[in-house]
Amino acid sequence: MTRISPTRAVSRARPALPDVGAMLVLVSAWAALTAGAALLLGALAPPTGAVGWIALGVTATLVGLALLSGLRQVVIVAAAHSRWPRSAPVPPPIASDARVALLYPTADDFRADVIQRSAAQTHPGTRTVVLDDSQQPEVRARVEALAAEHGVEVHHRASRTGAKAGNLNAWLAAHADEVDYVVVLDADQEIGPEFVAAALARFAAHPEAAVVQGRIRSRGGDTSFARDFSGLFTRHADTKLAARAVLGLVDFFGRGAMLDVAALREVGGFPEVVMEDTALTVELERRGRAVVAAPELVSLEDAPVDHTAFAVQFGKFAEGALQLLVRSRGSLLDPRLTVLRRVDLALELLIPVLAAVVPLALFAYAVVAAVTGAAAFPWQLGLPLAVLSLVPLLPEALHRCRSRGLRAGLGFAVRASMLYASVGVVAARAVVAVTLSGRARFRITPKERAEATASVVVRRRALEVVVAVLALAVAVLWAGRPEIATPFVVIAATALAFGWRDAVGERVG
In this structure, the answer to whether residues 298 and 410 fall within a common structural domain is: no
What's the predicted TM-score (pTM) here?
0.89
211 three-state secondary structure: strand
What 266-271 contacts at long range (C-beta under 8 Å, 24+ apart), as own/partner pairs, is 266/6, 266/7, 266/8, 266/10, 268/3, 268/4, 268/6, 269/2, 269/3, 269/4, 269/165, 269/168, 269/169, 269/172, 269/173, 270/164, 270/165, 270/168, 270/169, 271/165
Q: 1 in a domain, yes or no?
A: no
* Contact of 392 with 355, CB cutoff 8 Å: no
Enclosing H/E stretch for 497: helix 486-504
- What distance in Å separates the CA atoms of residue 274 and residue 461, rounded to the nearest whole number? 24
- How many separate domains does the chain show? 2
Rounded mean pLDDT for each run of 10 residues along the chain, 509 residues in total: 48 46 80 95 89 93 94 94 72 90 92 93 95 90 88 88 92 95 96 97 94 94 89 95 92 96 95 93 93 95 92 92 83 82 90 89 90 87 91 95 95 95 92 87 78 76 94 91 90 91 62
In this prediction, residue 11 carries a pLDDT of 39
Residue 9 in domain = no
Q: Please answer whether residues 345 and 307 qualify as being in contact, where contact means their C-beta atoms are separated by less than 8 angstroms.
A: no
246 is a domain residue: yes
What are the C-alpha distances in Å from 143 to residues 112, 129, 167, 193, 328? Answer: 7, 11, 16, 22, 37
CA–CA distances in Å: residue 479 to residues 368, 369, 381, 395: 8, 8, 22, 40
215 sits in which H/E element: strand 209-219
Q: How far apart (Å, rounded) are the C-alpha atoms in residues 509 and 489? A: 24
Q: What is the pLDDT of residue 449?
A: 75
Return the pLDDT at 18.
52
Q: What's the domain range around 418?
A: 26-82+345-504
Q: Are 127 and 102 in contact (CB under 8 A)?
A: yes
3-state secondary structure of 92: coil
Q: Please check whether residues 208 and 133 belong to one and the same domain.
A: yes
Instruction: Give the whole-angstrom CA distance, residue 153 versus residue 258.
Output: 19
The pLDDT value given to residue 15: 42
Q: Does 336 reside within a domain?
A: no
Q: Tell me: do 61 and 109 sit in the same domain.
A: no
Residue 91, domain member (yes or no): no
Q: From 301, 294, 111, 110, select the one nearest 194 (Cα to Cα).
A: 294
Choosing from 253, 278, 305, the residue where a domain stops is: 305
Is residue 248 domain-shared with residue 382, that is, in the same domain? no
pLDDT at 9: 38
By the 8 A CB rule, do 289 and 246 touch? no
Instruction: Give the integer Cα–Cα distance in Å for 497 and 478.
Output: 29
d(CA 367, CA 85): 50
Q: Are residues 67 and 178 in the same domain?
A: no
Residue in 134, 128, 179, 123 with CA at minimum distance from that of residue 150: 128
In a domain, residue 89? The reply is no
Q: Do 372 and 244 belong to one domain?
A: no
**288 with 194, same domain?**
yes
Which of 274, 305, 336 terminates a domain? The answer is 305
On whether residue 320 sits in a domain, the answer given is no
What is d(CA 187, CA 165) in angstroms, rounded to the nearest whole number? Answer: 14
Residue 216, pLDDT score: 97
Shared domain check, 44 and 157: no
CATH number at residue 259: 3.90.550.10
Q: Are 312 and 430 in contact (CB under 8 A)?
A: no
Torsion angle defined by CA atoms of residues 242, 245, 247 and 252, in that order, rounded to the nearest 10 degrees: 100
Q: What phi-psi label fits residue 268: left (phi over 0), alpha (psi between -120 and 50 degrees) or beta? A: left
In a domain, 184, yes or no: yes
CB atoms within 10 A of CB 120: 12
Give yes or no: residues 52 and 130 share one domain: no
Q: Last residue of a domain, which of 305, 336, 365? A: 305
Q: Are residues 77 and 112 in the same domain?
A: no
Same domain, 293 and 424: no
Considering the domain architecture, whether residues 74 and 106 belong to the same structural domain is answered as: no
Got the DSSP string for 297-356? Answer: EEEEEEPPSSHHHHHHHHHHHHHHHHHHHHHTGGGGG-TTS-HHHHHHHHHHHHHHHHHH
Question: Residue 379 and residue 358: Cα distance in Å, rounded?
Answer: 15
Strand pairing class (190-191; 100-106): unpaired
Q: What is the pLDDT of residue 256?
A: 97
Question: CA-to-CA distance for 51 and 371, rounded, in angstroms?
Answer: 10
Given the DSSP bridges, would you call strands 181-184 and 100-106 parallel, antiparallel or unpaired?
parallel
User: Angle 498-441-277 (CA atoms, 0-180°, nearest 5)?
Assistant: 90
Q: What distances in angstroms separate CA 150 from CA 80, 124, 147, 197, 319, one per listed residue?
A: 41, 16, 6, 21, 38
225, 311 contact by CB (below 8 A): no
Element (H, E) at 380: helix 379-389
Phi/psi for 331 (5° steps) reads: -65, -25
